[in-house]
Amino acid sequence: MSAATAAAHPIEARGLVKRYDHVTAVDHVDITVEAGTVYGYLGPNGAGKTTSLRMLLGLIRPDEGRARLFGRDPLEEGAAALDGVAGFVEAPRFYPYLSGRRNLELMAALDGGDAADRIDDALETVGLAERDGDKVSGYSHGMKQRLGIGAALLRDPRLLLLDEPTTGLDPAGMRDMRELVRRLAADGITVLLSSHIMGEVEELCDRVAIVRSGRVIYEGAMDALLHRASAHGQRYRLRTTDDVRAWDVGSYLAGVSELVSGDDGLTFAAEHEQVVAELSLALAARGVGIVALVPATASLEELFFRMTEGAEANEEGTA
């Protein structure tokens, strides 16, 4: 790799557009992923995540714009531009009647170079070293997903593109996959991860782009997004011995806003913790017992829905 490409960003895409008949799947998307980050590409079904990742990897041609990986355009330079890059965009396909190890051996033979020397490490990293001799047909969905990442690791990537790697996994499978992504990032691999799961992106990513109908409606540091999510005050969930009365008390208290009564008690926003303390005292004074009063953790999720489905989405610029 030349000095010029070594200094380039792992991903730099400008003005990517992809249209299918009347659908603009990807609409002028800019993405810059800096080395060492775990970058979340977050959006609901049909937002254009897979199409974007496929363009980044040069699997499909954009109608407009261009993408560079470490300074190289996969459409112009072909396989050479994918040096150091591995993608996991479609569900990985393996020979079911062969073992996990044998599948990796076949892939390594295709890849050539020293890929075969990395098989043991790859199996170890993805937690399949103990099951490497079992037929893939006997693997769980999560194991197949991890074998897919193992296959990507044979290329010794410095950049890994993962399209919804936890989709379809059970909670334990999701946890294992997240743990694996964290480990790969700790090993210095830059990761672009698409997901529709807000909590997952919040947990794993340093930076995030939120996409809706092919457009990036927010781009920025995860911290800044979370800060923005709580700009109108921290939200809380409240359950009491008498929610109707509690609602009355809350609605008259200064500093309490967005008071909503739901099936599982009340939610509200409070500008300061002091307001929460005042509310608890006011409830006690009126004989209402607090059963639970906890900060609501779904702030990113709420923000996401506001951005992707609410009227606010139209006014949002990229940050």
Ligand X SMILES: Nc1ncnc2c1ncn2[C@@H]1O[C@H](COP(=O)(O)OP(=O)(O)OP(=O)(O)O)[C@@H](O)[C@H]1O
Nearest to 210 by CA among 231, 196, 189: 196
CB of 245 to ligand X, least distance (A): 44
CB of 258 to ligand X, least distance (A): 30
Residue 227's contacts (CB-CB under 8 Å, 6 or more residues apart) are: none
CB of 23 to ligand X, least distance (A): 5
Alpha-helix runs per DSSP H in 187-229? 198-204, 222-229
Please say which residue, 33 or 211, places its beta carbon nearer to ligand X: 211
Please say which residue, 47 or 201, places its beta carbon nearer to ligand X: 47
Please say which residue, 185 or 209, places its beta carbon nearer to ligand X: 209
Please say which residue, 50 or 240, places its beta carbon nearer to ligand X: 50
Please say which residue, 45 or 314, places its beta carbon nearer to ligand X: 45
Query: 222-229 and 299-309 are packed helices; what angle lies between their axes, rounded to 10 degrees?
Result: 90
Residue 253 CA to residue 187 CA, distance in Å, equals 50
Please say which residue, 48 or 100, places its beta carbon nearer to ligand X: 48
CB of 45 to ligand X, least distance (A): 3
Query: Cα dist. 122→110, 262, 276 in Å?
Result: 16, 48, 50
CB of 168 to ligand X, least distance (A): 12
Residue 103 CA to residue 94 CA, distance in Å, equals 6
Binding site for ligand X (CB under 6 A): 20, 23, 25, 43, 45-51, 196
Please say which residue, 46 or 255, places its beta carbon nearer to ligand X: 46
Question: Mind giving me the DSSP string for 132-184?
Answer: TTSBGGGS-HHHHHHHHHHHHHTT--SEEEEESTTTT--HHHHHHHHHHHHHH
CB of 314 to ligand X, least distance (A): 19
CB of 29 to ligand X, least distance (A): 11
Is the CB of residue 105 less than 8 Å from the CB of residue 160?
A: no
Residue 180 CA to residue 86 CA, distance in Å, equals 15
- 3-state SS, residue 263: coil
Residue 202 Ramachandran class (φ > 0 left, ψ -120 to 50 alpha, else beta): alpha
